[in-house]
Amino acid sequence: MSPAAYPSLGPVHLRVRDLPGVARFYAGLLGLQATALSGTQTQLSAQGTPLLLLEAAPDLPLAPHTRPGLFHTAFLLPSRAALGRWLAHAARLGVRLGSGDHLVSEAFYLNDPEGNGIEVYADRPRQDWQWSGGQVQMDTRAVDTAAVLGAAGLDARTLGRATVTAAPGSAVVGHVHLKVGSAAEAARWYAQALGLDVVARLPGAAFLSWGGYHHHFGLNEWHTAGQGRPQTPAAGLAGVTVLAPDLASLRARLDVLPDALVNAHPDGGSLNLEDPWGNRLTVNEARVLA
């Protein structure tokens, strides 16, 4: 079945204290185009595809790392060469990066100016992913940065001299990683509510996907174990968009779930859900192209 037949992720919605500053940061870091939707909202897109919606919330406190919410938004680049070019660009900007070779992908990590986590990554070919019993093998190892740069025709001597002027048109939100009070409970909720498959488990974390991807959602309790829904607002994650090719079947799925499990609010052509930790999900119907 074509990947287009499965749900995917749309833009991530963040509340930020410094809207102009955070918008400039993402535009410069990823080569995204910023469009002011109003005086309080800015959309950031890759060649017309919305990836982020930033909403001004200057009076909200920053979210502590121990609060359920966003762990990181993961931006998927179309190739290892694109990742290599971006890595050189990031070096030129002087940003500090973490990294991880996850076997299925190679990734680099940083935070935006308000502490929202970011991952920029490229997938290895699907035929190289290792599966056993419906679980994909993932790990965190050292990234061969020289090989990533080499894929773009660059090396350490040119690191920092490359410039990204625009994100690739096929850049997307590849996955979203959330902080929750219980990874096991969250995995059950997301599987039942959205039809995701649990494809990997690590201590204190679970990873779920549609259509055999390595993961569309990561869920961890590393800093938030035992916590419930936050009782006061804060800057940070306001919501995640899911694009579903068949909203009617998802609506029917939600109808048979216990009310305590999922809170679904029909809203025109979308469904609004909140997980047990207050992470909001807006499910929009997406047309499947033949």
Query: Is the confidence at residue 264, as pLDDT, over 80?
Result: no
pTM: 0.94
pLDDT tens sequence across 117-174: 999 999 999 999 999 999 999 999 999 999 999 999 998 887 767 778 888 888 999 9
Query: Whole-angstrom Cα distance, residue 95 to residue 158?
Result: 16
CATH superfamily, region 70-234: 2,3-Dihydroxybiphenyl 1,2-Dioxygenase, domain 1 (3.10.180.10)
What mean pLDDT value characterizes the chain? 91
Residue 17: partners with Cβ closer than 8 Å, 6 or more residues away: 56, 57, 58, 60, 62, 114, 235
pLDDT for res 289: 40
Domain range annotation of the chain: 70-234
**According to the model, what pLDDT value does residue 258 have?**
56
Q: 153, 248 in Cβ contact below 8 A?
A: no
- Using CA atoms, how far residue 14 sits from 73, 239, 250, in Å, is 10, 7, 25
By the 8 A CB rule, do 264 and 275 touch? no
pLDDT tens figures, 36-72: 999 999 999 999 999 999 999 999 999 999 999 999 9
Quick: pLDDT tens for 62-107. 999 999 999 999 999 999 999 999 999 999 999 999 999 999 999 9
255 Cβ contact list (under 8 Å, min separation 6): none
Cα separation, 217 vs 198, whole angstroms: 9
Whole-number Å distance between alpha carbons of 259 and 256: 9
